[in-house]
Amino acid sequence: MTENYKSEKAPINWVVTVVLGLTFLAAITIVPWYGIAQGFSGWAWVFFVGFLIINGVGIGSGYHRLWSHRAYEAHWLLRLFLAFAGGMAIQNSILVWCIRHRIHHRDVDDNDKDPYSIGRGFWFAHIGWMLKDYASGKLDWSVVPDLERDPIVALQHKYYWSLVLLSNVVLPVLLGVLVGDIWGVFLLAGVLRLVLSHHVTFFINSLCHMWGSRPFSDENTARDNWFLAMVTYGEGYHNFHHAFQSDYRNGVRWWQYDINKWFIAACSGLGLAKNLKRVPDFKIQRARLSMVFKRAQARIDGAAENPRWRSLLETEYAQFKETINQWQQLQLERVQQSRQKLVEVIDQSTLKARYRELEKDLKLQRKRLALLTAQLYA
């Protein structure tokens, strides 16, 4: 990695700069002025909230989890809706968005390759990367051959700007005419909604790589932040996502706020989505426990020599490795039985019980380690 990016010269992307600049300016001046002078109707607020949620689902469930990561499969009707909803957010076509996002995951934190690397600062990761045609933002079409074969993706890419005008100008104006509040609906559901939708997504690229915890991996800057999850429709559980990007969930716990996982699960129940990918709970527990061990080891190494603590940690780690070995052996047995076409005679209840027992072992060990590290930090 070089340091040349700090003085990198790049041409201004005038289309993006003008769109982002004028909509933001209108949102902080014209929108509040109109609200004070004229007031907004109830319908304007309804459409504002509705469109905001639709955009969040279009980007999160569509652009991100469906097309970028193939976390599930969707019926063509659902794909058509998500292509419209995501395009309405004006964050480029599915193809272009996914190219940059896949490269971001592949080269995360590489200032020369990651399109919105946080290593280049908050402003760059949040919005600056779009205002100029930086070398790190160059499109590599080789990463989306699967998407180029999708007719809905191709159609949206071809008519992207027509979709933008239809959804962001024609639709708000038409709804405004129907409810008798043209300017109110246009300014709230059109302009303000668009600006908020933009920056909510941009927060994932910037703040979600700066603030929060890293319970699953510290190999990159991605972080989990419950507050950011609340304002980004669940995308704020970003450390989990970077560790397990193929999972259709970001908020992996049932109680974690994640509109997109609930939307996808609901679509699955309606028959509009299938093959929802879930990382085995054992792998999730293994990642969390590995991080606990790593931090405990660093704490012991940085403290005064204490043979007792080191011995306890080594004992726990040996047990951890044994549990991992048992799980891998169980996986191997399952594969071998399946290849021998004996899956019909496998006692499925016994197999599941063995998996649950190993998952329970990791959870109990994580609790023991939590007590151990609490005493160590005391």
* Whether pTM exceeds 0.95: no
Q: 2 falls in which pLDDT band (50, 70, 90)?
A: very low
- pLDDT over 70 for what percent of the chain? 78
Render pLDDT for 108-117 as a digit per residue (tens, 0 to 9): 999 999 999 9
Interval 64-73 mean pLDDT: 98
Q: What is the reported pLDDT for 321?
A: 66
Between 244 and 310, whose confidence is greater? Answer: 244
Q: What is the reported pLDDT for 303?
A: 60
- pLDDT over 90 for what percent of the chain? 71
Q: What is the reported pLDDT for 370?
A: 67
Q: What spatial distance separates the first Cα and last Cα of the chain, rounded to whole Å? A: 40
The residue whose two tokens read 């599915």 is 94
Query: Cα–chain-centroid distance for residue 87?
Result: 17
Q: What is the reported pLDDT for 287?
A: 87
Render pLDDT for 125-143 as a digit per residue (tens, 0 to 9): 999 999 999 999 999 999 9
Render pLDDT for 301-331 as a digit per residue (tens, 0 to 9): 656 556 666 666 667 667 666 666 666 666 6
**Average model confidence (pLDDT) for the chain?**
88
Q: What is the reported pLDDT for 280?
A: 85
Q: 164 falls in which pLDDT band (50, 70, 90)?
A: very high
Query: Cα–chain-centroid distance for residue 334?
Result: 32
Q: Where are the alpha helices (DSSP H) in the chain?
A: 14-28, 30-37, 42-57, 76-88, 94-106, 122-123, 129-131, 145-148, 151-158, 160-165, 171-179, 182-185, 193-205, 226-231, 238-243, 259-269, 281-302, 307-339, 348-377
Model confidence at 341: pLDDT above 60: no
Judged by DSSP in three states, 213 sits in strand
Model confidence at 80: pLDDT above 50: yes
Q: 337 falls in which pLDDT band (50, 70, 90)?
A: low
Q: What is the reported pLDDT for 1?
A: 41
Q: What is the reported pLDDT for 340?
A: 57
Burial of 153 from C-beta contacts in 10 A (0-12 / 13-18 / 19+): buried
Model confidence at 70: pLDDT above 70: yes
- Cα(14)–Cα(201) distance, rounded to whole angstroms? 21
**Would you say 70 and 247 are in contact if contact means Cβ atoms under 8 Å apart?**
no
CA dihedral 86, 91, 92, 98 (to 10 degrees): -80
